[in-house]
């Protein structure tokens, strides 16, 4: 498999509980390298734009409120098949359905407050990385 890049977000439920380091240790242990990183307080407009694909979903408004409820850490991960690898380490969206040992199984509070985001395709990864990072901020 090729070396890929993907966008990862540590969500407000996790920054609030001081889990940034433990989550990133799990990502690194899975062979993913953090090649760009910043901590941000998203505005409502930024959160709505990032999750625009979900704007028709019933959970959209609550999701946006959750994503602006505290700081997030946005980061670019690089590694072999990074998009799928990150999704595997994250676990299922609903922590009740997430596999043992995954980040969401270990740390998520609910299907909404599920600690991490990960791009779901290489194409979306490129768009999502471009949403948060300039090329000069990514050092592979």
User: If DSSP codes are grouped into helix, strand and coil, which group holds residue 135?
Assistant: helix
Among positions 34, 69, 109, 120, the unique one binding ligand ADP when judged by CB under 6 A: 120
Decide which of ligand ADP, Mg ion, none touches 85; Cβ closer than 5 to 8 Å per partner kind.
none
Identify the H or E element spanning 80: strand 72-80
Q: Tokens 């997430």 appear where?
A: 98
Residue 109's binding partner out of Mg ion, ligand ADP, none, with CB under 5 to 8 Å set by partner kind: none
DSSP 99: P
CA distance 44 to 24: 26
Name which of 39 and 57 has its Cβ closer to Mg ion: 57
d(CA 58, CA 48): 14
Cβ atoms < 10 Å from Cβ of 64: 21
Min CB(124)–ligand ADP separation in Å? 10
**93 contributes a contact to ligand ADP by CB under 6 A:** yes
Nearer Cβ to Mg ion, position 19 or 83? Answer: 83
The least distance separating ligand ADP from the CB of residue 95, rounded to whole angstroms, comes to: 10
Q: Which of residues 97-136 bind Mg ion (CB under 5 A)?
A: 120
Q: Dihedral sign for Cα 123, 101, 92, 37, please.
A: negative
Cβ at position 78, least distance to ligand ADP in Å: 19
Question: In angstroms, how far is the first alpha carbon of the chain from the final one?
Answer: 18
Distance CA 112, CA 109 (A): 8
Q: Is 61 a catalytic residue?
A: no
Asked whether position 63 contacts ligand ADP by CB under 6 A, the answer is yes
Give the footprint of ligand ADP on this chain (CB under 6 A). 54, 59, 63, 93, 111-112, 114, 117, 120
Name the residues annotated as catalytic.
117
């Amino acid at each position: 498999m090729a070396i890929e890049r993907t966008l990862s977000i540590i969500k407000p439920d996790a920054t609030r509980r001081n889990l940034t380091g433990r989550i990133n240790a799990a990502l690194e242990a899975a062979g993913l390298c953090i090649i760009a990183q910043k901590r941000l307080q998203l505005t409502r407009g930024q959160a709505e734009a990032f999750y625009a694909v979900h704007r028709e979903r019933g959970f959209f408004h609550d999701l946006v409120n959750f994503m602006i409820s505290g700081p997030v850490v946005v980061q670019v991960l690089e590694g072999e098949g990074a998009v799928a690898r990150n999704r595997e380490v994250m676990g299922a969206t609903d922590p009740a359905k997430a596999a043992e040992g995954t980040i969401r199984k270990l740390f998520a509070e609910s299907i909404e407050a599920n600690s991490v985001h990960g791009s779901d395709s290489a194409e979306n990864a490129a768009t999502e990385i471009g949403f948060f990072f300039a090329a000069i901020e990514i050092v592979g």
